[in-house]
Amino acid sequence: MKRSSKPIKSYSKTVRAYSLKLDEDTYTKLDQLFINYGKCRNMFLNQYCGISHMLDVKQYRKLRDQIKGSKQNKKYVAKYNFLDKHWCYALSDACANINSMWSNLANQIRRVVQANEAIDKDERHLIYYLLSIRELWYYALTNDQAVLLDLSHGLQKHLAELEEAVTPKQRKHAYSYLSRLTRRYKYTPRKHHSLNKSMTYDESMYKFTGDQLEELAISSHVSRKRFSLKLTSPWHYRLNGNLQIILDRDKKRIEIHKVIKVRQKKEYQAGTKLGIDKGLATLVSCSSGREYGKGFSQFTRPEIEQESQYLARRNPYYGYRYQLKKKLNQLKNANIPKQIIKKKQLTRQLNKLNANNIGHKRKDKRHASYHACLESKINHAIKTMIKLGTPSLIVKEDLTFTKEKIAKKGSK
């Protein structure tokens, strides 16, 4: 049987895998490796983010070969204490970020030019065309004729036609205006204080091992030595291509991200209309008689009880803070030395209370984890309902009463 000649529709999807908690020695070495990788990438980012390198970052391999030809790669390996491939991928990540910056900057300048009503239509068209091609944009900023001559004859001809459509004064103003906007909004070199948490690994820098591919070995900062990591579940995807390795410093584990191609699902075939009713005991009850998300309240009740206990434990501290603020408000305009000393003592007590007893970091972290699980359960119930019921229209009764609805009906 012959295969269909129609191309298979697909889309990109990121799959994730997780390692078990790392031991202290492995975590310390990986943490230092990720920090050095981030410093190297930020160094490249600050070095090549300028206008003079806006064409170099488009050709990453050519730029990499130039660095290798000048033998600067040995300095990077010695300075950041990692392998030769690590700085190559740090350069690749930096070039990708810079290209995205230039693309975002072009969109930002287009919006500014579009909002400027003082610019003529032909002049605006000329600026848009210069922004559409990186080489023309570079030519407008540097007036480098060699870059213009390297372009195809068709691009040069179209640029000449657009320049003829405006006056010499408008042409000069368009180039000057584009140059000013670029230098005003472009990225500038800066210090990076956040710790790096991601690295790129190609297929020669990692290897899945084990009978069920439940272990991962990745290159370390020393040649021919690898970190061996146990995964929470076996690896079910291809063993080639690049991986994005993420270091989770909170949970002290590694996340493995890989982009794969997934076949697009068949077109949805809608059926009849479906009425639904939301609830807590059962998440969704349908007019067809089916129910989805049964026992939903058993999942939400423990969290509600835990939240009430949490607030009950916090109430004494909230009351104490209210009393301290009330006393501080009374000593707002203190002039007597005793009152000033008392005010300092109360301020110190209030700061200590806020720092040690009324924090929200653990609560916010616990809530984020709970809401992620809650959202997953709700989405699963809705997806199952759509898959089995195949509704063409979903109708839900709105039982919320607002002033707007009452005003429309009129007061009785």
| pLDDT at residue 395 in the model | 86
| pLDDT at residue 134 in the model | 94
CB-neighbour burial class of residue 57 (10 A; exposed 0-12, middle 13-18, buried 19+): buried
| pLDDT at residue 336 in the model | 84
| pLDDT at residue 128 in the model | 95
CA distance 378 to 364: 21
Which H or E run includes 337? Answer: helix 337-356
Q: Could you list the pLDDT tens digit for every one of the 412 residues in the chain?
A: 455 556 667 888 899 999 999 999 999 999 999 999 999 999 999 999 999 999 999 999 999 999 998 888 889 999 999 998 999 999 999 999 999 999 999 999 999 999 999 898 999 999 999 999 999 999 999 999 999 999 999 999 999 999 999 999 999 999 999 999 999 999 888 888 788 999 999 999 999 998 889 999 999 999 889 999 999 999 999 888 999 999 999 999 999 999 998 887 777 777 788 888 888 778 888 888 888 888 888 878 888 888 888 888 888 888 888 898 888 888 888 788 888 888 888 889 888 888 888 877 777 888 888 888 888 888 988 888 888 888 888 888 776 656 555 555 544 3
pTM over 0.95: no
Give the residue extent of every domain in the chain.
10-96+193-262, 116-185, 268-397
Closest CA to 268 of 395, 393, 378: 393
- At residue 302, φ and ψ (nearest 5 deg) are -60, -35
State the first-to-last Cα distance of the chain, in angstroms, to the nearest integer. 73
| pLDDT at residue 6 in the model | 61
Closest CA to 343 of 317, 325, 321: 325
| pLDDT at residue 63 in the model | 93
Amino acid (1-letter code) at residue 127: I
Segments in 48-189 forming alpha helices (H): 60-69, 73-80, 84-115, 121-132, 134-142, 145-149, 153-164, 168-185
| pLDDT at residue 411 in the model | 44
CA distance 156 to 26: 57
| pLDDT at residue 405 in the model | 52
